[in-house]
């Protein structure tokens, strides 16, 4: 869908083209070296800068921060594209007993200031994660403490078996290891706007809503990486602007949410990579007050939604039916379409409303209005029509993303609030925001007691088969009580890049973590 560019965006593009040139770089196969070339600054067009906690990995919960700081910070372990745990900052690890893990750190790992990674940095990081009150803390419920064995060995002690611990410490978005001396002495503002990590790049500049400048970490533990001298993440909230910049050659790569728009470049010589279907549009519900405190009204809303039509109309045919764990995650349940209240049942919805004497009820939905979230706007209009057909008036309340996210994180919202989801460290993490007892965004009240107990059981269940069973029970309970709504699931992003960028493959977690392996044709 073509959008008219406002004057500010046009001027921004014009300025960028003047600085970087305005002709698409033609790269012939014969021009591409046999081996990766070192050097060059990759220009990457992105949608939004970090908000709500910036790039502090223990404060921010926003994907907009994660997909930047993964270039700077690293976790103890990593995951391959199939979800298998691999070495990270820990070259190897072992489980000493049911509640103790030992990590052996890379002896050549250093922070971007040249300081060596020490076991006390890991000890501090794990204990800070667990005390943060953030997503990590809600998954590290069994974590008790860490103990330094020597400079390069650290033990993690749990109070009991944990099904989530290794997921947290192997996830690039949640398991970041920080420098104890720097992090403990930096102010809250400094942690959100500056960083010191062991990753392939370091942050050297940040112009609000214009560009975040990353440059090579000369102390990176892998001497073969990164190939690039740096990355400039240039901010284009409007997707058409991003695509225009790629076509003009002022950026080398972009990502888009709109799959239709991405398909337009097929045949133009650009590479297209699709992320996994992990972007659930979660509709969090206040079950503690107002009309949505009535289970019958929440169930009527869910039954009124024709998810197949929503996937066809609101997501232009690209959407899939999914549960709380998105279908692109290997841990997702097999048949989310069979969950309670998922089948389109307008007659059943009307009967519930009549029983509750709630025909004509007004329910407010708050959602982000920024250009970078424009792909979701059609959903709210389709939902409004579907709910009106059964006797519910959906009141649309668009707000800037920063305000929407703030309301969600604090739990200060009424009715429904829409928050796009991302791939998480563990299946349990998809539920923690609205079920963890200490989470401000937990607005389930008494209706969520059984689901919370199941979520806690999932956290402490280790055996894979048993975890699947508990997850299915949890998905059923959340859908039955309608504690959260998922209209559809789509791919997180589509990445497009010119032939000038070589050696890059998108990761299924949508972190752009493999940019450290990319290189530019000279």
CB atoms within 10 A of CB 29: 6
Q: How many whole angstroms separate alpha carbon 76 and alpha carbon 74?
A: 7
Residue with tokens 């996994």: 276
What are the residues facing 361 on neighbouring strands? 392
Using DSSP's 3-state secondary structure scheme, residue 411 falls into coil
Are 227 and 214 a contacting pair, CB within 8 Å?
A: no
Distance (Å, rounded) from C-alpha 186 to C-alpha 181? 9
pLDDT of residue 316: 76
The CA distance from 282 to 422, in Å, is 10
Using DSSP, state whether 502 is helix, strand or coil.
Answer: strand
88 DSSP 8-state letter: S
With beta carbons less than 8 A apart as the criterion, state whether 440 and 286 touch. no
> Which residues 6+ apart lie within 8 Å of 349 measured at CB?
299, 300, 301, 303, 304, 390, 391
Cβ neighbours, 10 Å, residue 97 = 8
Count the Cβ atoms, other than its own, within 10 Å of residue 449: 14
How far is 171 from 97, CA to CA, in rounded Å? 22
Tokens of 232: 């400039």
Cβ neighbors of 412 (< 8 A, separation 6 or more) are 406
Q: Is 481 helix (H, G, I), strand (E, B) or coil?
A: helix
Quick one: pLDDT at residue 26?
67
pLDDT at 231: 98
pLDDT mean values, one per 10 residues, the chain (522 residues): 36 40 56 91 96 91 90 96 92 96 98 98 97 87 96 97 94 95 97 97 97 98 98 95 96 93 89 91 95 98 95 84 94 96 98 97 96 88 97 97 92 95 91 90 95 96 95 98 95 94 93 96 93
Model pTM? 0.84
As given in the structure block, the two tokens for residue 470 are: 């508990």
Q: Which pair of tokens denotes residue 250?
A: 């002022």
Give the Cα separation of 154 and 105 in Å (integer). 8
Question: Do residues 76 and 166 make contact, with C-beta atoms less than 8 angstroms apart?
Answer: no
Q: What is the pLDDT of residue 30?
A: 67
> What contacts 119, CB < 8 A, 6 or more positions away?
105, 148, 149, 150, 151, 152, 153, 154
Phi then psi for residue 165, to 5 deg, are: -60, -55
Give backbone dihedrals phi and psi of 397, rounded to 5 degrees, phi first: -130, 80
Secondary structure letter of residue 230 according to DSSP: E
Within 10 angstroms of residue 487's Cβ, the number of other Cβ atoms is 26
Alpha-carbon span 234 to 129, nearest angstrom? 30
Asked if residues 125 and 88 have their Cβ atoms less than 8 Å apart, the reply is no
**Cα within 13 Å of Cα(242), Cβ side:** 28
Helix ranges (H only) for 132-213 are 135-139, 165-169, 180-185, 188-193
């Amino acid at each position: 869908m073509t959008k008219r560019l406002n004057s500010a965006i046009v001027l921004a593009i014009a300025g960028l083209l003047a600085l970087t040139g305005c002709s698409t770089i033609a790269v012939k196969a014969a021009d591409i070296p046999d081996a990766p070339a070192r050097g060059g600054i990759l220009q990457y067009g992105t949608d939004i800068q970090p908000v709500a906690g910036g790039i502090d990995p223990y404060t921010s919960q926003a994907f907009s921060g994660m997909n930047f700081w993964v270039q700077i910070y690293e976790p103890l372990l990593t995951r391959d594209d199939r979800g298998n745990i691999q070495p990270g900052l820990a070259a190897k690890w072992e489980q000493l007993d049911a509640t103790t893990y030992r990590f052996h750190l890379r002896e050549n790992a250093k922070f971007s200031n040249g300081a060596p990674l020490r076991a006390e940095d890991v000890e501090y990081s794990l204990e800070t994660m667990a005390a943060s009150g953030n997503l990590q803390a809600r998954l590290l419920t069994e974590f008790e403490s860490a103990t330094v064995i020597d400079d390069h060995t650290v033990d993690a002690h749990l109070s009991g078996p944990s099904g989530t611990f290794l997921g947290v410490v192997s996830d690039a978005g949640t398991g970041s290891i920080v420098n104890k001396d720097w992090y403990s002495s930096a102010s809250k503002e400094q942690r959100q706007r500056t960083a010191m990590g062991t990753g392939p790049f370091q942050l050297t500049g940040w112009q609000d809503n214009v560009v975040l400048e990353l440059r090579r970490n000369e102390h990176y533990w892998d001497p073969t990486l990164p190939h690039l001298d740096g990355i400039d993440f240039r901010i284009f909230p409007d997707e058409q602007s991003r695509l225009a910049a790629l076509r003009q050659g002022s950026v080398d790569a972009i990502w888009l949410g709109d799959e239709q728009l991405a398909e337009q470049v097929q045949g133009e010589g650009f590479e297209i990579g699709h992320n996994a279907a992990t972007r659930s549009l979660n509709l969090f519900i206040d079950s503690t007050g107002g009309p949505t405190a009535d289970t019958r009204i929440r169930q009527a809303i869910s039954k009124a939604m024709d998810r197949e039509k929503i996937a066809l109309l609101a997501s232009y045919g690209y959407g899939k039916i999914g549960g709380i764990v998105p279908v692109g995650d290997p841990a997702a349940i097999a048949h989310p379409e069979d969950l309670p209240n998922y089948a389109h049942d307008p007659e059943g919805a009307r009967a519930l409303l009549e029983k509750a004497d709630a025909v004509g009820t007004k329910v407010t939905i708050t959602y982000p209005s920024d250009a970078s979230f424009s792909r979701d706007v059609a959903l709210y209009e389709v939902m409004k029509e579907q709910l009106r057909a059964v006797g519910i008036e959906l009141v649309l309340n668009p707000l800037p993303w920063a305000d929407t996210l703030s309301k969600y994180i604090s739990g200060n919202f009424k009715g429904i609030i829409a928050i796009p989801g991302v791939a998480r460290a563990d299946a349990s993490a998809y539920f923690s925001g609205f079920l963890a007892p200490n989470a401000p965004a937990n607005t389930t009240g008494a209706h969520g007691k059984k689901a919370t107990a199941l979520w806690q059981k999932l956290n402490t269940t280790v055996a894979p088969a048993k975890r699947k069973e508990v997850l299915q029970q949890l998905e059923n309970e959340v859908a039955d009580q309608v504690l959260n709504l998922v209209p559809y699931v789509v791919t997180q992003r589509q990445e497009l890049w010119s032939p000038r960028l070589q050696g890059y493959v998108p990761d299924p977690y949508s972190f752009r973590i493999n940019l450290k392996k990319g290189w530019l044709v000279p």
